[in-house]
Structure 1
């Protein structure tokens, strides 16, 4: 009876811990999805607003914003590596030397995705300078299709029929968004608007292709090696900084020489640069939420286990003492009463013998 109660309490404890972990994982997924949607939407709207804002001062350089974002990525990932090494500067320096400087071939593998990501980030500025935010946001979702195609060809993944159908519907939706609408107006203005939209459309399509290839290639590198994700991102950011600086000096070198790299920067520009570090800040928020979820679940499990063990031990000790005392008193009283009623003379004889001795 006691064993069955103990087993049932353990099963209830396991069910409660499983329920708590499932609730935490569900909340974590919802939180991650909400952060991703909020960040992506705010980035598109803010970037579009910054590229179409009319001011007396010169507009900021898109190439400069890309370089600034790469610097922030390197700083964030370095801080994360510093945290992973228990806030030890010596251990962090040793790790970076071992993984970056002493493994040049592994480091050079990140040059290809870094160059593609740098090109993609510059193309996104071109696209948002020539397309409205809604058209850009819908068209840029083609990166899901390109990522799926590259995953099938490079990683050997298999997609189900419903997944292929979803990708076809996505492509059809993007095509309908780009369908020309019959509107009145000057023909010359139509041609000018059409040429601007064509430039933006080509820029976002090239960004989708480059995003799909670079993402799958980077995932393949991560699966083939055992290096830390943050170290890989530092390598990626270093190459991105080099390529971005070269592109900035080639295309905007004269303007940088005349007015400086940070010409036209304001609060909106700084917001765009911070939001452009979307992969890292989004992943950082997910990483922190996962860490808090694991910490809280471990804390709750330890607390509940200690509390339940103390509670059960006290409860069982009190319960057993009361149960045994009542059981023994009733059993002995009944036994003695029956025994004395059946053999009273034998009982008194034994008592007299003991008294004589």
Structure 2
């Protein structure tokens, strides 16, 4: 009897150790996937938008990505219902049509997401990939500020310091780019640095507000994140079509919806559409620190690749600014020290909010259009 109990204990320990090794391996795989996904989208958009020849309509690419995301989420819901079409249809009718007031709440973030997706194309078309990647980290600052204002979350002293460093790093990079702008103007006459900068700043502001608003809706509802993303996608597709008609309607009517689409353009669209799903699958094995590290490392990957692919020039100012941003991103992702800083009630509420946020990361974050950039 005792021997059997001892044998069972040994087996459990062996199984636990084996599972731990698997999780550890998956953690590093997750890191690699997050870095590649994070950097590749920015670089590929920059690449297809700077190639000579016919350019595709970015408004049509935004619509196509939304349609693919909706179809993918519908497929996941169908799989969750064990391929029962009737149950899936009834669930969708109840969640989207019958509870229409709940669905209408998603109109606001969907409008902002659609605007944000279009702005990102504008920004990346006018900014070097590395500069965009560094500047886009301002979304951490805007998300943090909106979280404090709208969700009453508290930030640790280290997080506040990291936000100041983040802002300083981005500012240094902009000073460096301002100095290089005149020198490169003859090589990039079709690009406008100021347009790109304004686009990325507005994109960061919209990312922060929409992300926090979406999180607030998710926390106050029992609907699954897949249903929520179908609702978002429906609005996003309609709003994207309106934007496409307004901005490129006449040109698309003349040249066609898929004008300028190449294999590389399709890669960009699929990366946008499925990148979030990919992150959702792997992020369960990655903690907040790992995600912060992935974001930081992806900036390095984007910069190094830009040097070889686009002839991007890195000087001391850019290195200093990017270094501050990378350090700030990593600092911000560090867990709060237990019992530090504020009083007990606020500390515990902040801790629960933080853990709730981490639990939802795999669900919420990947679908913030964001070109699916990891926070």
TM over 0.5: yes
Larger radius of gyration: 1
1:87 counterpart = 2:83: yes
270-279 vs 123-132, greater mean Cα deviation: 270-279
1:147 corresponds in structure 2 to 143
In the TM superposition, structure 1's runs of 4+ consecutive aligned residues that sit over 6 Å from their partners are: 181-188, 192-195, 287-290
1:242 counterpart = 2:238: yes
Match 2:31 to one of 18, 24, 33: 33
TM-score where L is the length of structure 2:
0.70
Aligned pair in 2 of structure 1 residues 104, 279: CA closer, same or farther (>3 Å)? farther
Deviation, structure 1 residue 187:
8.8
> What is the alpha-carbon distance in structure 2 between the residues aligned to residue 287 and residue 95 of structure 1?
27
1:76 corresponds in structure 2 to 72
Aligned pair in 2 of structure 1 residues 33, 150: CA closer, same or farther (>3 Å)? farther
1:121 counterpart = 2:117: yes
> What is the alpha-carbon distance in structure 1 between the residues aligned to residue 156 and residue 104 of structure 2?
35
Q: How does 1:31-70 map to 2 (within 5 A)?
A: 31-55=29-53, 58-70=54-66
Q: How does 1:214-253 map to 2 (within 5 A)?
A: 214-253=210-249
Match 1:268 to one of 261, 264, 268: 264
Instruction: Quote the RMSD (CA, aligned, Å).
Output: 2.7
By percentage of residues, which structure has more helix? 1
Question: Over residues 311-331 of structure 1, what are the superposed CA-to-partner deviations in whole Å (9 max), with x where a residue is unaligned?
Answer: xxxxxxxxxxxxxxxxxxxxx
Q: How does 1:280-291 map to 2 (within 5 A)?
A: 280-286=276-282
**Contact 2:58–2:118 (CA under 8 A) maintained in structure 1:** yes
Q: How does 1:332-351 map to 2 (within 5 A)?
A: none
Secondary structure of the residue aligned to 2:222 is coil
Aligned pair in 2 of structure 1 residues 251, 187: CA closer, same or farther (>3 Å)? same
> What is the alpha-carbon distance in structure 2 between the residues aligned to residue 39 and residue 205 of structure 1?
22
Number of positions where the alignment pairs a residue of Structure 1 with one of Structure 2: 285
Question: Over residues 173-206 of structure 1, what are the superposed CA-to-partner deviations in whole Å (9 max), with x where a residue is unaligned?
Answer: 111111146869979958x979921110110011
**Contact 1:123–1:207 (CA under 8 A) maintained in structure 2:** yes
Deviation, structure 1 residue 154:
1.7
2:305 corresponds in structure 1 to none
Specify every segment of 5 or more residues in structure 1 that has no aligned partner in the other structure, as ranges.
291-357
Specify every segment of 5 or more residues in structure 2 that has no aligned partner in the other structure, as ranges.
287-375
> What is the alpha-carbon distance in structure 2 between the residues aligned to residue 233 and residue 89 of structure 1?
19
> What is the alpha-carbon distance in structure 1 between the residues aligned to residue 6 and residue 89 of structure 2?
52
> What is the alpha-carbon distance in structure 1 between the residues aligned to residue 174 and residue 275 of structure 2?
28
2:103 corresponds in structure 1 to 107
1:210 counterpart = 2:189: no
1:13 corresponds in structure 2 to 11
TM-score where L is the length of structure 1:
0.73
